[in-house]
Amino acid sequence: MTDPGRTLLALDFDGTLAPIVQDPASAWIHPGSLAALRRLGPVLRELTIITGRPVDQVRRLGRFEDGPGLDRMVVCGQYGAERWDAASGEVRQPHRPQAVSDLAARLPQWLEEHDASRIRIEDKGLAIALHTRGVAPGLLDELRPQIEALAAEVGLHLEPGRQVIELRSAGTDKGQTLRRVVGRVEPGAVIYAGDDLGDLPAFEEGIALREQGMDVTLVCSASDEQDALLALADVVLDGPDAVAAWLGDLADRFAPA
Ligand SMILES: [Mg+2]
């Protein structure tokens, strides 16, 4: 069996640890996953969350600081541009790019001009997300060429997800972030779990690490909205409920009561 003390467990948040819900501000972590992570935290080499969300949102929605077991965990937010580690309490946060500020100022009118004011704008600080879940399904697909043109015009990179598109600076993706974490932690084994297109670079990095001899397990939290990860996954689970059960099994193996 893999030694938990040599294992890096790296997890996406939305759609993996937390169910996708209408209001992203209430996408709380699955209680079963939280319970499993509290058991796994003390025995793993490292537990890291790699998420598109800002760090402060995931700290709140993950309830990580409300109980024991997670005092060494790390959260890499906004694909790794931000970082919080529980042990030091330090948050590393880069400055907001001017292009993001310019876009934020321009977007409400731009959406109005494109008859798309139903789209919800989320200002993430380092990126702007456009959400259509529950308010304008399909509209992002229709407007995709115009959004691509807008992103190119303001000099931002497009990050599509499940009923969301983000515009952010190029340069940090989950693959680069996973590589950096692995370089720092030097694990003997890596487990990575995710559900969406933004996790694809991390899966590709996992495959590259495996080719270098690392013991890598890639876990897909599957949904009927996204199938890009399925073919690359070693383990396919039916969404956050199944992820919670799987993490519970991992905790039984790694940290038996
Ligand atoms: Mg996700």
Environment of ion ligand 1 (residues, CB < 5 A): 12, 14-15, 195-196
pLDDT in tens, 66-112: 999 999 999 999 999 999 999 999 999 899 999 999 999 999 999 99
Phi-psi region of 171 (alpha: psi -120 to 50; beta: other; left: phi over 0): left
* Residue of higher predicted confidence among 135 and 178: 178
Output DSSP code: residue 58: H
Q: What spacing in Å lies between the alpha carbon of 38 and ligand 1's midpoint? A: 20
Q: What spacing in Å lies between the alpha carbon of 225 and ligand 1's midpoint? A: 11
Q: What spacing in Å lies between the alpha carbon of 151 and ligand 1's midpoint? A: 22
- Residue 9: which H helix or E strand, with range? strand 7-11
Please state the CATH superfamily assignment of the domain spanning residues 98-168 in this structure.
Trehalose-6-phosphate phosphatase related protein; domain 2 (3.30.70.1020)
Alpha carbon distance 96, 169 (integer Å): 10
pLDDT in tens, 1-27: 589 999 999 999 999 999 999 888 899
Q: Is the overall model pTM greater than 0.95, yes or no?
A: no
Q: What spacing in Å lies between the alpha carbon of 15 and ligand 1's midpoint? A: 5
For residue 73, give the amino acid letter.
M
Q: What spacing in Å lies between the alpha carbon of 113 and ligand 1's midpoint? A: 30
Q: What spacing in Å lies between the alpha carbon of 67 and ligand 1's midpoint? A: 24
CATH 3.40.50.1000 assigned to 4-93+172-254:
yes
pLDDT value, residue 1: 56
| pLDDT of 172 strictly over 90 | no
